[in-house]
Amino acid sequence: MPERYEYPRTEFDPKPRRPRTPGERRHIYFFLLLALAGFVAIFDHVTKKFIVHHLPPGRAHDVIPGLLRITHVVNTGAAFSFLADTASPDLVRKGLILFSVAAVLIVGAMLLRSCDCFSKTCIALALILGGAIGNLYDRVVYHYVIDFIDVHIGPYHWPDFNFADSAIVIGACLLVLEIFRPQPEDDKASA
């Protein structure tokens, strides 16, 4: 096969692209995952502001009668109002803030260390991070979390929750699925 002729370069030729190193691509994925976490936190904040401005505390609006209601509930406790009726609510609030800060730092560090692609694990960590930031903001600024989604299925009632709680639960479920997913075996192990 004849050799290919190379034309001399001119000033009009596009500049050759410098190949990306794996570390550069890793930063792109990290910032995109941070953007996902930021979207979750911002969307959570916007939905809570909407509820605060359009629905008085304790009121509800039926979306799907008998199944889904939008409410305005003030939650001073942890998830699903756990610890809401304690004798020392200020101590509970400070403990929950401390726990939330630790969770944000740990999940953020895990995201930074291990997420160099868009895997289920990385997306799950980003969802958990965004949800934790959303609820942490409420605890620091308002001293409580605003919950507004109320689900009934027949006689069963799920405690009120918000968008941040949903992101945390979806992220946790993705992590559980990833943990129990069968892992491919190495060829060396079978040989």
29 burial via Cβ count (<10 Å: 0-12, 13-18, 19+): middle
Active site residue 147: yes
Please identify which of the residues 147, 150, 160, 187 carries the catalytic annotation: 147
71 burial via Cβ count (<10 Å: 0-12, 13-18, 19+): middle
CB atoms within 10 A of CB 25: 12
Give me the sheet containing 60-64, strands edge to edge: 60-64, 68-75, 145-153, 156-161
> What kind and span of H or E run contains 54?
helix 22-54
CB atoms within 10 A of CB 130: 29
Please identify which of the residues 44, 138, 150, 165 carries the catalytic annotation: 165
Active site residue 165: yes
- Coil, strand or helix at 6: coil
Active-site positions read 147, 165
